[in-house]
Structure 1
Amino acid sequence: MKPEKQSVDEIITDLPIHEQVIVKRLRLLILECLPYAREKNNYGVPFYTRNRMICFIWPPSVYWGPKKQDYANKGVTLGFCQGNLMANENNVLKAEGRKQVFCMYFKSPNDIDEKVIRSLLFEAGLIDDGFSKKRKA
Structure 2
Amino acid sequence: MSKESVEQYIEKHPKNIQEITVNLRQLILNTSSEWTEEIKWGMPSYSINKNICYLQASKNHVNLGFYHGAQLEDPHNLLGGTGKQMRHIRVKKMEDIDEDSLKLYVKNAIQLDQS
TM-score interval, smaller chain: over 0.9
Which residue is equivalent to 1:11?
9
Q: Which moved more, 1:48-57 or 1:9-18?
A: 9-18
Q: Which residue of 2 aligns with 1:86?
A: 72
Q: Deviations over 1:48-106 (max 9, x none)?
A: 01221100000014xxxxxxxxxx4xx111101111121112321113x2111011111
Matches within 5 A, 1:57-136: 57-61=55-59, 72=60, 75-95=61-81, 97-130=82-115
Q: How many residues align?
A: 115
Q: CA RMSD in A?
A: 1.2
Superposition deviation, residue 38 in structure 1 = 0.3
CA distance in 2, matches of 1:23, 1:31: 12
Kept in 2, the 8 Å contact 1:34–1:121? The answer is no
Contact 1:82 1:124 in 2 (8 A): yes
2: CA distance, partners of 1:99 / 1:116: 23
TM superposition outliers: structure 1 runs of 4+ over 4 Å: none
TM superposition score normalised by structure 1? 0.79
Between Structure 1 and Structure 2, the one with more strand by share is 2
- TM-score normalised to the size of structure 2? 0.93
Q: Which has the larger radius of gyration?
A: 1
Q: Alignment partner for residue 23 of structure 1, among 21, 42, 62?
A: 21
Q: Percent identity?
A: 30
Q: Distance in 2 between matches of 1:82 and 1:102?
A: 7
Measure, in 2, the Cα distance between the counterparts of 1:7 and 1:58: 14
Distance 1:23 1:100 in 2: 23
Q: 1:35 deviation in Å?
A: 2.0
Unaligned runs of 5+ residues in structure 2 are none
Check conservation: 2:72, 2:108, Cα contact below 8 A. yes
Return the letter of the residue paired with 2:75: E
